[in-house]
Amino acid sequence: MDLFIKAIVAFCIGAAAIYGAQTLWLSSVRQQIVTAERTPIMPAAEVKPLPKLDASNVVKGLQPPKLDPNIGKNIPMGAINRQINQSIYAGKMVPLPPRIPGVRGR
């Protein structure tokens, strides 16, 4: 029973602390809002007319660039050459056996 009462008291103290912290935070935010309303942070914006837009530049930007129809002509040959090079140089990629100084090799 004693543990139950202590748990209830601890819960009430925790709830009161959370309520107090939220109230303090909320009053601080309200105070900052009130002071911000009194003193404007940003000056009034000036309205300026937009510069004239040249429509020919917009059309050029919207059209995609012309593609070369021969762009993929050499891709299969390049893939075959890459596979041949990989098979040729595969033997050079095998690590050498360890060489320990002072030990004669076989």
Q: Is the pLDDT of residue 105 over 70?
A: no
Name the residue with higher pLDDT: 57 or 26.
26
* b/e per residue 5-20 (b: at least 16 CB within 10 A): eeeeeeeeeeeeeeee
Q: Is the pLDDT of residue 11 over 90?
A: yes
Q: Is the pLDDT of residue 41 over 70?
A: no
Residue 78 tokens read as 């390049």
Task: Give the Å distances, CA to CA, from 63 to 15, 52, 57, 71.
Answer: 64, 21, 10, 20
pLDDT in tens, 57-72: 777 778 777 877 787 7
pLDDT in tens, 43-100: 777 888 888 877 777 777 787 778 777 877 878 888 888 888 888 888 888 888 888 8
What's the rounded mean pLDDT across residues 17-46? 84
Please list, in sequence order, all residues whose beta carbon lies within 8 angstroms of the beta carbon of residue 99, skipping any fewer than 6 positions away: 105
Q: Is the pLDDT of residue 1 over 60?
A: yes
**pTM attached to this predicted model:** 0.34
Please list, in sequence order, all residues whose beta carbon lies within 8 angstroms of the beta carbon of residue 105, skipping any fewer than 6 positions away: 99
25 band by pLDDT with thresholds 50, 70 and 90: very high
Looking up tokens 């919207």 gives: 62
